[in-house]
Amino acid sequence: MWKMQVSLAAVSLALVTLAPGAAIAAEPALPGLEQTLAFPFAEQLTASEHGDSIAWVARQNGIRNIWVASGAGFSPRRLTDTQNDDGQELTSIALSPDGRRIAWVRGGDHDSNWEAEGGLQPDPASDVEQPHLAVWTADVAGGAPREVGEGDAPAITDAGRIAFVRDGKVWVAEPGGKPERLFFDRGEVQNLAWSPDGRRLAFVSGRGDHSFVGIYTGKDQPILWLAPSTGRDDNPVWSPDGTRIGFTRRPGVGGAPEPLLEEVKQPWSIWVADARTGEGAQVWRSPDTMDGSWTSVPDGPTLRWAAGHRLTFRAEMDGWPHLYSVPAAGGEAMLLTPGNYMVEHVALSGDGKSLLYSANTGTSDGDDDRRHIFRVPVDRAAPQALSSGDGLEWMPVPAGPGVAFVSATAKRPPAVYWSGAARGSEHALVPLPAYTPGPLVVPKQVMFRAADGVLVHGQLFDASGGKAKKPALIFVHGGPPRQMLLGWSYMFYYSHAYAVNQYLASRGFVVLSVNYRLGIGYGRPFHHPKDAGATGASEYRDVVAGAHFLQTLQQVDPQRIGIWGGSYGGYLTALALARDSDIFKAGVDFHGVHDMSRTLAERKTPPKRYEQGDWEAALKTAFTSSPVADVATWRSPVLLIHGDDDRNVRFSQTIDLARRLDAQGVRYEEMVVPNEIHDFLRHQDWLKADQASVRFLERELKP
């Protein structure tokens, strides 16, 4: 997903045969595809401060519901009662510190890069009633959910007081009361955090080129700003006694124009301020190295205020995303998780004395392409493995005397599990929903080298049987800070891609999922390669290396290799077809980026000053790194799929490419989904798009 619904009648499917734009009739349903895509999925597992309650979102066939579990046995119950594929997200789960109350958000697109014009919410069902983004709440122990009001990003106190954001401002709702704006601030407010006693509210006020952390105390007192500066302050965390706040600081936007064609250092620091006076001091500063830069791994530094007044955070100072801790009074940072692996999904234990996290390390072969659960004390480097083997576990949270987490295998989709203090106590909190796909394969970890020597990981899907050589496919993920795994993914978008790869293997394709450079999981140099993306597309070498690897396999027909991917994977799919149609005979491009220079111009504006830096050179390099720059050598057919309400990759990227393919006489098909976003919100839209993809690839790559 670049950072990533519609009624069937609303989907426009134009299939090009003899000439661009010529449509053909719809085809019958593919056997087994609907069953394969009907996998259950658990996400957004969240715990109250001390682990008294947990909550998560479960979805299957597009139907989303929130579940909660609490009490001595952590008995689960379904909190909401959605019965249909309505295309409305359930996100932003917030539990009160005591675990008795919960708030969440219905609607919106929380993975988007920008809001739609006018702040309109997604309407993937083409409903004639305008959807809205709303905060909801309920008691964990029981009772019907109720809508609080339009808004987003809730934070809830033990007393049931809910603060949330509406149009960049803070609103509050007392239990059972109507929402009202809490205070005025001219910035764009985000990152709400109640004090431990629930009386004061910390927040971040975005001011464009800088930001402040503020504290609201009451209507009769002005906002208290914490050590204001020219920097960008973020991630406020309260001390357990409510007397101090820790936060991160990065330099404000300014200075001489930074080069766009090379990586530059991104320094940052951690500050602690007095929550009564606002006076603060720096307690840690990143080293002046590239590895010391602000981490671009998803979820950022994951700052926490732990027991013993230690601040814990994630950084890449040794070239890997690891956990560190530093005294709140200042001092040297202590590395808690040494080793060549990546830390993700960090949670503080209920007593604040340890951190729970997932990591791609362990004792089994291939664990660098898996996730397992670990615990580490906040004051020493003593990690303890809580899971192992050939399964995958992630998103651990404290849950009473034990730990809750999401678990999957190569064949079993993600579900929430609970493990108590006693050995052998691990069990699924909810009976696993029925899932009856055709035979699933266990993907095999493979490794190969690109032309410049970079070692690349991949997962090979190959259903054994038959003597005839098979057609093959490269799959390229989006992001690009993502990693495909040896099993189901912790992100729905990539679990969906995993299911499609399984189905393609069942239809006789050999599928290679390529974890190209720019992705996560293999260290900072792999994640930040030279000349990648808009600065040269060096990651494309890994895609070509994957195709050459497939050509060496005895069971693969080297003349029948295709490629598919979404978002950044759509970009690489289009790049492969434009540059190497002799290798890649067909492709499916989901909402891909086709002109990097347009994306650069949308995300960064030319300097409004005399100094222009390398702006012109960067625009030129971005264009030459794009599929549209090589469209003259594009010969292979392609299926283009895009929702026209995409808020991550503009729909105009696909319009532009289609017009260029028209001019070149390249054979293409297109599936346009009105009102869908980047990560399709409705299951039926994924189903229709996947069927079109499989049919297209079979027509083009099978005799």
3-state secondary structure 110-151: CCCCCCCHHHCCCCCCCCCCCCCCEEEEEECCCCCCEEEEEC
Tokens of 31: 């056997």
Whether 416 and 42 have beta carbons less than 8 Å apart is answered as: yes
b/e sequence 541-579, b meaning 16+ C-beta within 10 Å: bbbbbbbebbeebeebbeebbbbbbbbbbbbbbbbbbbb
Q: Which residue has the tokens 């064949």?
A: 411
pLDDT computed for residue 356 by the predictor: 98
| Residue 456 to residue 476: CA distance in whole angstroms | 12
Q: Is residue 249 part of a domain?
A: no
The closest alpha carbon to 404, from 349, 361, 360, belongs to 349
pLDDT tens string 177-223:
999 999 999 999 999 999 999 999 999 999 999 999 999 999 999 99
Q: Is residue 505 part of a domain?
A: yes
Q: Is residue 524 part of a domain?
A: yes
Compute the average pLDDT of residues 318-345. 98
pLDDT computed for residue 604 by the predictor: 84
Please determine, for residue 9, whether its predicted confidence score (pLDDT) is greater than 80.
no
pLDDT tens string 508-558:
999 999 999 999 999 999 999 999 999 999 999 999 999 999 999 999 999
| Residue 230 to residue 208: CA distance in whole angstroms | 11
pLDDT computed for residue 2 by the predictor: 58
| Residue 185 to residue 205: CA distance in whole angstroms | 8
| Residue 604 to residue 615: CA distance in whole angstroms | 10
pLDDT computed for residue 224 by the predictor: 98
Banded model confidence at residue 465, pLDDT cuts 50, 70, 90: confident
First to last CA, the chain: 32
The number of residues making up the chain comes to: 703
Compute the average pLDDT of residues 450-479. 94
Q: Is residue 456 part of a domain?
A: yes
Give the domain CATH number at 565. 3.40.50.1820
pLDDT tens string 554-593:
999 999 999 999 999 999 999 999 999 999 999 999 999 9
**Amino acid making up residue 34:** E
Dihedral of the CA atoms 5, 7, 12, 17 (nearest 10)? 100
Q: Is residue 290 part of a domain?
A: no
| Residue 324 to residue 317: CA distance in whole angstroms | 10
> What rounded mean pLDDT belongs to the chain?
94
Banded model confidence at residue 439, pLDDT cuts 50, 70, 90: very high
Whether 193 and 202 have beta carbons less than 8 Å apart is answered as: yes
Domain that holds residue 652: 8-37+436-596+638-701
Pure H helices in 552-588: 568-579
pLDDT computed for residue 423 by the predictor: 64
Please determine, for residue 1, whether its predicted confidence score (pLDDT) is greater than 70.
no
From residue 490, give the alpha-carbon distance in Å to each of 31, 47, 87, 399, 448.
27, 17, 20, 20, 25
Banded model confidence at residue 14, pLDDT cuts 50, 70, 90: very low
Q: Is residue 384 part of a domain?
A: no
pLDDT computed for residue 679 by the predictor: 97
Tokens of 2: 């670049």
The closest alpha carbon to 697, from 470, 494, 426, belongs to 470
| Residue 77 to residue 84: CA distance in whole angstroms | 19
pLDDT computed for residue 176 by the predictor: 86
Whether 159 and 139 have beta carbons less than 8 Å apart is answered as: no
Q: Is residue 391 part of a domain?
A: no
From residue 375, give the alpha-carbon distance in Å to each of 42, 52, 356, 386.
22, 19, 5, 7
pLDDT computed for residue 8 by the predictor: 28
pLDDT computed for residue 10 by the predictor: 31
Give the H or E element holding residue 529. none
pLDDT computed for residue 56 by the predictor: 98
Tokens of 312: 């814990």
Dihedral sign for Cα atoms in the order 161, 164, 166, 171:
positive
- Comparing 378 with 401, the larger pLDDT belongs to 378
Helices (H) and strands (E) in the chain, counts: 9, 41
b/e sequence 110-128, b meaning 16+ C-beta within 10 Å: ebbbeeeeeeebbbbbeee
Q: 4-13, 448-457, 653-662 — which is least confidently predicted?
A: 4-13
Banded model confidence at residue 468, pLDDT cuts 50, 70, 90: confident
Please determine, for residue 686, whether its predicted confidence score (pLDDT) is greater than 70.
yes
Strand 470-476 with 444-449, pairing: unpaired
Name, in order, each residue with C-beta under 8 angstroms of 2's C-beta and a sequence gap of 6 or more: 113, 478, 479, 567, 568, 591, 593, 648, 649, 678
Could you give the number of structural domains in the chain? Answer: 1
Strand 556-566 with 584-590, pairing: parallel
Q: Is residue 517 part of a domain?
A: yes
